[in-house]
């Protein structure tokens, strides 16, 4: 399978480069900047390399830099933003701090429209920029093909060695012809074939799991969502009954979750154990208000439960359904910032006695859904809304108490139920309720009430990295509001969250 390696220097959008390339039908793998020339050469059918953006300055001593030898590889290389500067800097050019940065939409003037990389772009093209440093000089054989007001060398080409640099970001949608630039690079310059389909990955993932786990025993924590269910199916195919699936009832699950898990897996060959640990989780969360602290408490408790179980059955491997966006947001890629510690990645204790195996860690949600479909998982699981590992705990702002859990569980159920009745459930990424730790005055049955407000959070997203609040019809919102205040005694007010991500996140914690 033809592959493009995307070297990740920690830019906010590095992951998007890989995603856009895969959307062209070409397999892209995001790789560490520490990969050497030799190790890159081992990638089967490597057709090209993209150097991503990043926040550092190439001329500072501690900035991430690749092995100089990678520039000797025979494949085309495209540098984007920091990668553009790096390519110039490490191959004989120079980079300096600009007088002023360029942030946002910027006018790019093409001086050579024949260059293959920029074919299809206009002479004046709006592109999206996010930088202060700029390329100041280049080796002789490089040709400047575009400039902006602050970046005289905004794009360069060395067509004999197939080296390309662009200061702008083609991967973000604000660069309207960005997709065309990536397509020019991947298809016409690297000559990669569009032979990739995520469903093709399933057999390889099964083989990889078999190779990795060998004849050891493994356990997997099932949450009922598509990620862990798909991971369980893949590893189950690889090692059969050496895999034990564990569903931990934390008391923080959605309404009816435990029953639904039981019925989904009733007839499957997978060995499933349901552990009731409600009291333990709630006890440990007593008095904890900080969101990161909540995640860590829950992550640690999960690991305690898993380790205890693994020891009792002699399992050495813990399989996790972590996907790529979980890793990015937990700050676990080399240079990215920690937005939230997702409990199945960043929220884990530093030392875990089990060997962790994450078969889906390079995939996006929509890709996991396609693989799940190819494995024959039921539509109900595939299309189910995402549910975070820490569960309802991160949908209660402030301390988690049994009363608050009950309220938020019941309210979330109503949100999902009404979305289904309005046939909107599958159009949105997630719909749920959040409980705020304040009270407000209301009037119910001629009497003054002083109760909690509930926030409705319904968002649309493609891959969880960005999101918009959903434009749900008022009638549907009104039905949710009426049901929540009628059916849940401790709530007298319902509000709708109209924030996008960024600047907000989907969950409130
Ligand atoms: P945010 O709130 O970061 O959420 O915009 C993006 C997506 O990730 C889910 N999420 C989590 N999933 N463990 C998980 O397994 C977590 O700790 C976690 N936090 C957020 C969230 O539900 C949304 O779909």
Burial of 350 (0-12, 13-18, 19+ CB in 10 A): exposed
Q: How far is the CA of 133 from the centre of ligand 1 (A)?
A: 33
CA torsion through residues 17, 18, 20, 26, sign: positive
| 337 pLDDT above the threshold of 70 | no
42/146 same-domain check: yes
- Examine residue 17 and state whether it is found in any structural domain, yes or no: yes
Q: How far is the CA of 324 from the centre of ligand 1 (A)?
A: 12
190 a catalytic residue: no
- Examine residue 509 and state whether it is found in any structural domain, yes or no: no
% of the chain exceeding 70 in pLDDT = 95
Q: How far is the CA of 84 from the centre of ligand 1 (A)?
A: 32
246/306 same-domain check: yes
From 189, 212, 227, give the residue that closes a domain.
189
240/348 same-domain check: yes
Q: Is 369 helix (H, G, I), strand (E, B) or coil?
A: helix
C-alpha distances in angstroms, 295 versus 347, 385, 394, 466? 6, 20, 8, 21
Give residue 509's pLDDT. 96
Q: Residue 223 CA: which ligand 1 atom is closest?
A: 15
375/421 same-domain check: no
C-alpha distances in angstroms, 66 versus 51, 87, 109, 227, 401? 9, 10, 30, 33, 49
Taken as a whole, the chain contains a residue count of 509
298 lines ligand 1 (CB under 6 A): no
Q: How far is the CA of 183 from the centre of ligand 1 (A)?
A: 31
CATH of residue 28's domain is 3.40.50.880
| pLDDT top residue among 198 and 448 | 448
Model pLDDT for residues 239-298, shown as the tens digit of each residue: 999 999 999 999 999 999 988 888 877 777 788 999 999 999 999 999 999 999 999 999
183/210 same-domain check: no
User: Mean pLDDT, to the nearest integer, of 49-73?
Assistant: 95
pLDDT band (50, 70, 90) for residue 329: low
Give residue 342's pLDDT. 60
Q: How far is the CA of 226 from the centre of ligand 1 (A)?
A: 14
C-alpha distances in angstroms, 334 versus 32, 55, 71, 342, 432? 7, 12, 21, 16, 32
252 lines ligand 1 (CB under 6 A): no
Q: Residue 505 CA: which ligand 1 atom is closest?
A: 5
386 lines ligand 1 (CB under 6 A): yes
For ligand 1, atom 7, name the residue with the nearest CA.
464
- Examine residue 507 and state whether it is found in any structural domain, yes or no: no
Give residue 364's pLDDT. 85
Assess contact for 50 and 65: CB atoms under 8 A: no
244/117 same-domain check: no
329 lines ligand 1 (CB under 6 A): yes
From 189, 208, 226, give the residue that closes a domain.
189
- Examine residue 501 and state whether it is found in any structural domain, yes or no: no
Write the DSSP string, 148-167. Answer: -SS-S-SEEEETTTTEEEES
Give residue 346's pLDDT. 45
223/355 same-domain check: yes
Give residue 345's pLDDT. 47
162/37 same-domain check: yes
From 156, 189, 222, give the residue that closes a domain.
189
Return the structure tokens found at 265: 């897996």
> How confident is the prediction for the chain on average, in pLDDT?
92
pTM higher than the cut 0.85: no
H helices of 314-443, in order, are 324-329, 365-374, 379-382, 402-421
378/409 same-domain check: no
- Examine residue 244 and state whether it is found in any structural domain, yes or no: yes
User: Mean pLDDT, to the nearest integer, of 210-239?
Assistant: 94
User: Kind of pairing, strands 217-221 and 243-249?
Assistant: parallel
Model pLDDT for residues 306-324, shown as the tens digit of each residue: 999 999 999 999 999 988 8
Q: How far is the CA of 341 from the centre of ligand 1 (A)?
A: 9
CATH of residue 460's domain is 3.30.300.10
505 lines ligand 1 (CB under 6 A): yes
Angle at which helix 226-239 crosses helix 365-374, to 10 degrees, equals 50
Residues forming beta bridges with residue 443, ordered by sequence position: 448
171 a catalytic residue: yes
- Examine residue 61 and state whether it is found in any structural domain, yes or no: yes
- Distance between CA atoms of 458 and 416, rounded to whole angstroms? 10
Q: Which of 169, 335, 342, 385 is catalytic?
A: 169
For ligand 1, atom 4, name the residue with the nearest CA.
506
Return the structure tokens found at 193: 């074939």
| 328 pLDDT above the threshold of 80 | no
CATH of residue 273's domain is 3.40.50.620
- Examine residue 269 and state whether it is found in any structural domain, yes or no: yes
Counted domains in the chain = 3
153/204 same-domain check: no
Which residue is listed with tokens 């093709």? 200
Model pLDDT for residues 452-478, shown as the tens digit of each residue: 999 999 999 877 778 899 999 999 999
261 lines ligand 1 (CB under 6 A): no
Q: Which of 15, 84, 131, 171 is catalytic?
A: 171
186 lines ligand 1 (CB under 6 A): no
Could you tell me the residue range of the domain that residue 420 belongs to? 396-496
Q: Residue 509 CA: which ligand 1 atom is closest?
A: 2
95/149 same-domain check: yes
Model pLDDT for residues 68-114, shown as the tens digit of each residue: 999 999 999 999 999 999 999 999 999 999 888 898 889 999 998 88
Neighbouring residues of 504: CB distance < 8 A, sequence distance ≥ 6: 497
DSSP label at residue 386: P
365 lines ligand 1 (CB under 6 A): no
Q: How far is the CA of 391 from the centre of ligand 1 (A)?
A: 9
327 lines ligand 1 (CB under 6 A): no
Q: Residue 385 CA: which ligand 1 atom is closest?
A: 24
509 lines ligand 1 (CB under 6 A): no
Q: Which of 81, 125, 131, 183 is catalytic?
A: 81
| 117 pLDDT above the threshold of 80 | yes
169 lines ligand 1 (CB under 6 A): no
| pLDDT top residue among 411 and 222 | 411
Model pLDDT for residues 154-213, shown as the tens digit of each residue: 999 999 999 999 999 999 888 999 999 999 999 999 999 999 888 888 999 999 999 999
506 lines ligand 1 (CB under 6 A): yes
81 a catalytic residue: yes
Assess contact for 264 and 425: CB atoms under 8 A: no
- Examine residue 387 and state whether it is found in any structural domain, yes or no: no
377/359 same-domain check: yes
- Distance between CA atoms of 341 and 451, rounded to whole angstroms? 31
Q: Residue 342 CA: which ligand 1 atom is closest?
A: 17
Q: How far is the CA of 51 from the centre of ligand 1 (A)?
A: 28
- Distance between CA atoms of 314 and 129, rounded to whole angstroms? 53
Q: How far is the CA of 203 from the centre of ligand 1 (A)?
A: 28
């Amino acid at each position: 399978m033809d592959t493009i390696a995307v070297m990740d220097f920690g830019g906010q959008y590095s992951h998007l480069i890989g995603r856009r390339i895969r959307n062209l039908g070409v397999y892209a793998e995001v790789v560490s900047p520490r990969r050497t020339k030799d190790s890159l050469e081992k990638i089967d059918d490597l057709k090209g390399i993209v150097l991503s953006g990043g926040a550092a300055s190439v001329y500072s001593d501690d900035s991430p830099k690749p092995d100089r030898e990678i520039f000797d590889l025979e494949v085309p290389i495209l540098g984007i933003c920091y990668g553009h500067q790096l390519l110039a800097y490490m191959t004989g050019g120079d980079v300096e701090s600009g007088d002023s940065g360029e942030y946002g939409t910027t006018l790019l003037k093409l001086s050579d429209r024949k260059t293959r990389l920029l074919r299809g772009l206009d002479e004046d093209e709006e592109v999206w920029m996010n930088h202060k440093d700029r390329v100041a000089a280049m080796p002789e054989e490089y040709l400047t093909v575009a400039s902006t007001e602050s970046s005289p060398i905004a794009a360069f080409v060395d067509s004999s060695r197939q080296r390309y640099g662009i200061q702008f970001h083609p991967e973000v949608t604000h660069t309207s012809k960005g997709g065309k630039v990536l397509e020019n690079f991947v298809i016409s310059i690297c000559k990669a074939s569009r032979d990739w389909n995520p469903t093709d990955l399933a057999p390889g993932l099964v083989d990889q799991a078999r190779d990795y786990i060998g004849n050891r025993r493994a356990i997997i924590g099932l949450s009922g969502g598509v990620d862990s269910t798909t991971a369980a199916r893949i590893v189950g195919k690889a090692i059969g009954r050496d895999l034990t699936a564990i569903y931990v009832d934390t008391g923080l699950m959605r309404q009816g979750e435990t029953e639904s898990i039981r019925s989904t897996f009733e007839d499957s060959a997978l060995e499933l154990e349901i552990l009731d640990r409600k009291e333990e989780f709630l006890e440990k969360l007593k008095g904890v208000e900080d969101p990161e602290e909540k995640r860590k408490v829950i992550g640690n408790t999960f690991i305690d439960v898993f380790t205890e179980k693994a020891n009792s059955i002699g399992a050495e491997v813990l399989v996790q359904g972590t996907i790529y966006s979980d890793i990015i947001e937990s700050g676990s890629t080399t240079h990215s910032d920690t937005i939230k510690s997702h409990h199945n990645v960043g929220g884990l204790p530093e030392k875990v006695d089990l060997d962790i195996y994450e078969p889906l860690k390079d995939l996006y949600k929509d890709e996991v859904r396609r693989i799940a479909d190819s494995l024959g998982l039921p539509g109900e699981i595939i299309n189910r809304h995402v549910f975070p590992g820490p569960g309802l705990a991160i949908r209660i702002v402030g301390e988690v108490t049994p009363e608050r859990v009950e309220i938020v569980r019941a309210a979330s159920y109503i949100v999902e139920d009404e979305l289904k009745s309005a046939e909107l459930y599958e159009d949105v990424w997630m719909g749920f309720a959040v409980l705020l730790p304040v009270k407000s005055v209301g009037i119910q049955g001629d009497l003054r009430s002083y109760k909690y407000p509930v926030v409705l959070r319904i968002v649309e997203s493609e891959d969880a990295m960005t999101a918009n609040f959903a434009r749900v019809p008022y009638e549907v919102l009104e039905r949710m509001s009426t049901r929540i205040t009628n059916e849940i005694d401790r709530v007298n007010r319902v509000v709708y969250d109209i924030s996008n991500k960024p600047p907000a996140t989907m969950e409130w914690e």
